[in-house]
Amino acid sequence: MRIGMLTSGGDCQSLNASMRGVAKALYENMKDVEIIGFLEGYKGLMYGNYRKLEPKDFSGILTEGGTIIGTSRQPFKLMREPDANGLDKVKAMKDTYKKLKIECLVILGGNGTHKTANLLREEGLNVVTLPKTIDNDIYGTDITFGFQSAVNIATNAIDCIHTTAASHGRVFIVEVMGHKVGWLTLHAGIAGGADIILLPEIPYDIDKVVEAIDKRTKEGKRFSILAVAEGAISKEDAGLSKKKLKEKKANSPYPSISYELGAQIQEKTGQEIRVTIPGHTQRGGSPCPYDRVLSTRFGAAAARLILNKEYGYMVGMRDGEIIKVPLEEVAGRLKGVDPDSSVIKEAKLIGISFGD
Ligand code: F6P
């Protein structure tokens, strides 16, 4: 039996650990299984770029970040549009699948990847997926692999800022990845002891942010730390139409929301502000032990689906147990932070400001 495998979208720490989980379980439980790795995500499937993977390829990669078969972003909205040479991408992917006599495609990726995986399922291909992303925003699973590793890195960044912020008596903004959802900022913010946490799901009022900083200053605290998601948004901007917001961003003199916020805070409080952006370090390095366990379980569970010929599912986690979620339920849905959830309430109880 021939299984195709691909990793698509932004990378994260536990892709290799997940592929290893799938491969080990397949080799262990199936005779004559061959695994083909499509290179650089859906591109490999479209253009027939692949390599046969051997059991030794999956050995020693549990702790390695990145992906041994490469990845790329192939926007879902362009899938139905021909490429620069007029190639029908969906047809090309189906042709490769058929030509190679693939029994099932194992696809590791985030939200965009799941939309395309579901499209391939609708086109009649056998697909099993694994939820990957540091953003933890995939619908249908409590957690995605990559998230905890990124939380560790972002928390470490805030920890390092703590000492220098305290020495100098400054206000520091740490910008955490996440354009659409704030899980990573929320968890790293709480773990790192941030005083103010700004998330895309809770539009902020700049005066409330300033109030929280002033309160700390009055209490004799010489520094404040803000954990700000890339996609944090002011109440004012949240009220703009999509078009107006796009225009505003395009004309902004600031490279990101943190710099805009920093300038406003400096003007309103007179305090010295610094901005730190850990950026793609949050997706790099070795997966943390939690992710290694999660990926191994997800990988084995994906292999189990293949052994049972149960296709069209994403493996996920609910209340600590592995589940299978139909792809049509996952595709096109986002799992954001609920502003009324208990974790937000508990954070507020200890005095963390969300600027609302
Ligand atoms: O993969 C998720 C993510 O890391 C987001 O948190 C971030 O906003 C985005 O990808 C960055 O994308 P890119 O790697 O394409 O710059």
Ligand 1 atom, smallest distance to 10 CA = 1
Percent of the chain whose pLDDT exceeds 90: 100
**177 CA → ligand 1 middle, Å:** 7
Nearest residue (by CA) to ligand 1, atom 1, is 10
Ligand 1 atom, smallest distance to 135 CA = 6
Identify the pLDDT of residue 14: 97
Residues whose CB is less than 8 angstroms from the CB of residue 158 and which lie 6 or more positions away in sequence, other chains included:
174, 188, 189, 191, 192, 193, 194, 225, 227
- 161-209 pLDDT, tens digit per residue, is 999 999 999 999 999 999 999 999 999 999 999 999 999 999 999 999 9
Nearest residue (by CA) to ligand 1, atom 5, is 178
Provide DSSP, 97-122: HHHTT-SEEEEEE-HHHHHHHHHHHH
Identify the pLDDT of residue 108: 98
Identify the pLDDT of residue 129: 98
Q: What rounded mean pLDDT belongs to the chain?
A: 97
In 120-250 the beta strands, taken as DSSP E runs, fall at 127-131, 171-176, 196-198, 224-229
Identify the pLDDT of residue 114: 98
Helices 342-349 & 183-191 angle (0-180, nearest 10) = 30
Active site residues: 135
- 292-328 pLDDT, tens digit per residue, is 999 999 999 999 999 999 999 999 999 999 999 999 9
H helix intervals, 69-204: 89-99, 111-122, 147-168, 183-191
Percent of the chain whose pLDDT exceeds 70: 100
d(CA 234, CA 206): 7
Residue pair 322/315 in contact (Cβ under 8 Å)? The answer is yes
Ligand 1 atom, smallest distance to 73 CA = 15
**114 CA → ligand 1 middle, Å:** 16
Task: Using pLDDT thresholds of 50, 70 and 90, give the confidence band for residue 285.
Answer: very high
d(CA 307, CA 302): 9
Ligand 1 atom, smallest distance to 179 CA = 8
Task: Calculate Rg over the CA atoms of the chain.
Answer: 22
Identify the pLDDT of residue 115: 98
Identify the pLDDT of residue 57: 98
Which of 14, 135, 185 has the most ligand 1 atoms within 8 A of CB, as the residue to mutate? 135
Identify the pLDDT of residue 217: 96
**30 CA → ligand 1 middle, Å:** 36
d(CA 62, CA 307): 22
d(CA 151, CA 260): 24
What the block records as the tokens of 76 is 């879902």
Backbone angles phi, psi at 146, to 5 degrees: 105, -30
Q: Specify the pTM.
A: 0.97
- 79-113 pLDDT, tens digit per residue, is 999 999 999 999 999 999 999 999 999 999 999 99
**8 CA → ligand 1 middle, Å:** 12
Task: Using pLDDT thresholds of 50, 70 and 90, give the confidence band for residue 120.
Answer: very high
**264 CA → ligand 1 middle, Å:** 26
In this structure, the residues whose C-beta lies within 6 A of any atom of ligand 1 are 10, 73, 110, 133-135, 177-179, 230, 283
Nearest residue (by CA) to ligand 1, atom 13, is 10
C-alpha distance across the termini of the chain, in Å: 55
